Amino acid sequence: MMTALAALFFALKKDFFRISQEGAIGFGYLLASGAVVIIGNLITHEAHDIADILFGSAVVVDPKEVYIVPGVALFCIFIHWLFFKDFIFVSFDPETAQLFKYPVRVLNTVLLLTVGIVIAITTRALGALPVFGLTVLPSLTALFLTERLKLVFIFSVLIGVLSAMLGYYFSFVLSIPTGASITTCASLFFILGIGWREVRLLI
């Protein structure tokens, strides 16, 4: 329910709320952060569960989620594959898309809703920290490596998978939290991406 409302908010914010994308994201982050603090204060006896949701318990996963997460992911991947060009068009040039009679608002809502559903489901299974890290950092790193859109998608997937694999490995070897380990690995790739961009600019 909250995922659907958030997707609707971000999809309609430009037309109805007259605020920037950054402002909308900041509002969402602050609202979520405040809600977490309030909920954590009200149900202190569930602090361990809240910590798992926030920071991840990627080693111990509910058996049901082993099937739910891939199922939801495959469904959303299919939707993105089906409307790939449409999503790209309305995301990068919504004004032109409207001139060509594309349902920009509907496509934006579907795009954000599918992303939100995946984040909600995987956060429940893995925790907010690794999910947020793997949602943001690999794609940012890929943008530092190349300007070609198809390669950005490929690199971001590869970096995300590699970050997860290395995160699990170091978590096992060093006995550190898995979610934090995955996020740290993704952050290191991000730093390497920045370094690669700076080297390219100097050449």
Please report where in the chains the tokens 């569930």 appear, as a residue. Answer: 46
> How do residues 161-199 score in pLDDT, each as one tens digit?
999 999 989 988 998 888 888 989 999 999 999 999 888
Reply yes or no on whether the pLDDT at 112 is more than 60.
yes
Quote the pLDDT of residue 142: 92
Provide the phi-psi class of 56: left if phi over 0, else alpha when psi is between -120 and 50, else beta: left
* pTM metric for this prediction: 0.73
Tokens of 87: 């999503």
Over residues 26-35, mean pLDDT: 56
> How do residues 65-101 score in pLDDT, each as one tens digit?
778 888 988 999 999 999 999 999 988 888 898 888 8
Please report where in the chains the tokens 């926030």 appear, as a residue. Answer: 54
Quote the pLDDT of residue 50: 55
182 vs 47: CA distance, rounded Å? 22
Assess contact for 187 and 130: CB atoms under 8 A: no
Assess contact for 122 and 135: CB atoms under 8 A: no
145 vs 181: CA distance, rounded Å? 23
Residues whose CB falls within 8 Å of the CB of residue 64, separated by 6 or more in sequence, listed in order: none
